[in-house]
Amino acid sequence: MLQPHDAFAPAERRKRLVILACLWGAIAAVLILFRSVVMPFAGAALIAYLVQPLVARITRLQVRGRPIPRWVAILLIYALFFVGMYLFFIALLPQLYRELARISRDGLAFANSLTPEYLQSLAHRAEEWLSGYGIPIALSDRAVQGEDVAPGGSLSFALDLGQLLKDSVARLAVLARENLGNIVHISRNIIGGVLAGVFMLFFILMVAAFFSIDAHAIRGYFGTLIPPEYSADARLLLERLDRSLSGVVRGQVTICVVNGTLTAIGLLLFGVKFAFLLATIATVFSLIPIFGTILSSVPIVLIALADGVQKGLAILLWIIGIHALEAYFLNPKIMGQAARIHPVIVAFSLIAGERLYGLVGALFAVPLAATFVACFDFARLKAQPAPAVQPVSPPRD
């Protein structure tokens, strides 16, 4: 016979589930309604998750018999981060200045080399090369003299290369004078954007510190939003999420550092110009899987090709070797099989993230895809029927 409190147990359970579902729906509605301000907090949560192993290791240390508080561990990590950024910019700015000065010198030397005689010699060589393929185009001073008929009697197109270059330079000068005010406005916007970016960086780091300090309280609070009968499934899901995200987030950062270091070694080994700047770009772009690697490799190969085809092919083979090492050794060792996502899902998430939130969306696309895949697989496995238990046959006499 049912007791009175047992009779109302299903109704009470249904009521709790409805209330908790409404609370989760309210959280989702707030995130959707204020989606334009979600990205900084998502970045802060990602940073807090990224530094969690370091915080845990530091807090296990003891000073005078007492463990180091979490806020002290976070301050130590931030101090190391800013010291590293300071040393990085100290190394970057002089190198960047030298490389920009080299670009300016090379550009000025190239502009000074564009004399009328040099242009005419280039035009004659271009005419000979085109005429060898049956293309009658006059690029030299014959165009000024009005010769538009080829020696064979066929129609020839005439183009004064020197005059075209002079007209282009004149138009650029007029355009620069007319848009001087716009240049000042653009410079002001760039300075404002840099200041806003610095402020946003400190804001994200501050919120990440709050997340790291109150990590246990935040997890406990969200644990109260889950029915007790589902707490075991929730813990199992969190373990799968952590296993997946630790590979995607922490593993990808590790691979970026290795990729940038090996790229810098190759650039210095083959003597490619702007090695430090190109290696930095390769490191940052490696945060975006597949597309970031391709985008960072294009300028490296083009700049190497400007010094010779052999150098371009050599650095291309070096980059291919780095990515082969990443694909066949680093990814399985660092990320592990639990964090692997099919390349089609990665490509889809990158395009979707870029379309919705631009470059920032592309950076968060793969972690979000890893979260979705882990939740999807967990629900799929829970929906499978339990394996039938085979009866144990009694031992034979």
Q: Could you please report the per-residue DSSP string of 318-344?
A: HHHHHHHHIIIIIIIIII-GGG---HH
Q: Which residues pair with 157 in a beta bridge?
A: 137
pLDDT, tens only, 199-217 = 888 899 999 999 988 888 8
Residue 154: predicted pLDDT: 46
Q: What is the mean pLDDT of residues 207-234?
A: 86
Is it the case that residue 392 has pLDDT exceeding 60? no
Residue 169: predicted pLDDT: 63
What percent of the chain has a predicted confidence (pLDDT) above 90? 3
Residue 385: predicted pLDDT: 74
What number of other Cβ atoms are within 10 A of residue 64's Cβ?
Answer: 4
Residue 122: predicted pLDDT: 67
Residue 343: predicted pLDDT: 73
Per-position b or e across 229-247, b if 16+ CB within 10 A of its CB: eeeeeeeebeebbeebbbb
At residue 246's C-alpha, the angle toward residues 243 and 249, to 5°, is 145
Q: What is the mean pLDDT of residues 169-187?
A: 64
Closest to 369 in 3D by CA, of 345, 387, 339:
345
Closest to 72 in 3D by CA, of 82, 83, 62:
62
Residue 102: predicted pLDDT: 72
Per-position b or e across 334-370, b if 16+ CB within 10 A of its CB: bbeeebbbeeeebeebbeebbeebeeebbbbbbbbbb
Residue 311: predicted pLDDT: 85
pLDDT, tens only, 53-98 = 888 888 888 888 888 888 888 999 999 988 988 887 787 777 777 7
* Run of H or E including 351: helix 343-383
Residue 155: predicted pLDDT: 45
Q: What is the mean pLDDT of residues 118-129?
A: 68
The listed range with the strongest mean pLDDT (92-106, 191-205, 246-260) is: 191-205
Where in the chain does DSSP place strands (E)? 62-63, 66-67, 137-138, 157-158
Is it the case that residue 278 has pLDDT exceeding 50? yes
| Contact call for residues 78 and 70 (beta carbons, < 8 A) | no
Per-position b or e across 135-149, b if 16+ CB within 10 A of its CB: ebebbbbbbeeeeee
Q: Which of 80-84, 276-280, 284-288, 338-342 has the lowest mean pLDDT?
A: 338-342
Is it the case that residue 397 has pLDDT exceeding 60? no
Q: What is the mean pLDDT of residues 147-176?
A: 57
Closest to 277 in 3D by CA, of 287, 286, 267, 269:
267
Q: What is the mean pLDDT of residues 361-383?
A: 81
Q: What is the mean pLDDT of residues 228-232?
A: 83
Residue 79: predicted pLDDT: 92
Residue 175: predicted pLDDT: 66
Token couple for 150: 């080829």
Query: How far apart (Å, rounded) are the C-alpha atoms in residues 283 and 296?
Result: 9
Q: What is the mean pLDDT of residues 327-333?
A: 70
Q: Which residues pair with 149 in a beta bridge?
A: 155
**Angle formed by the axes of helices 215-223 and 180-213, to 10°?**
70
Q: Higher model confidence: residue 164 or residue 277?
A: 277
Residue with tokens 């490799």: 297
pLDDT, tens only, 4-14 = 444 446 778 78
Tell me the average pLDDT of the chain: 76
* pLDDT category of residue 339 using cuts at 50, 70 and 90: low
Residue 144: predicted pLDDT: 45
By residue count, the chain amounts to 397
What type of residue sits at position 159?
L
Closest to 234 in 3D by CA, of 375, 351, 349, 47:
375
Is it the case that residue 342 has pLDDT exceeding 50? yes
- Domain locations in the chain as residue ranges: 38-113+179-225, 114-171, 230-382
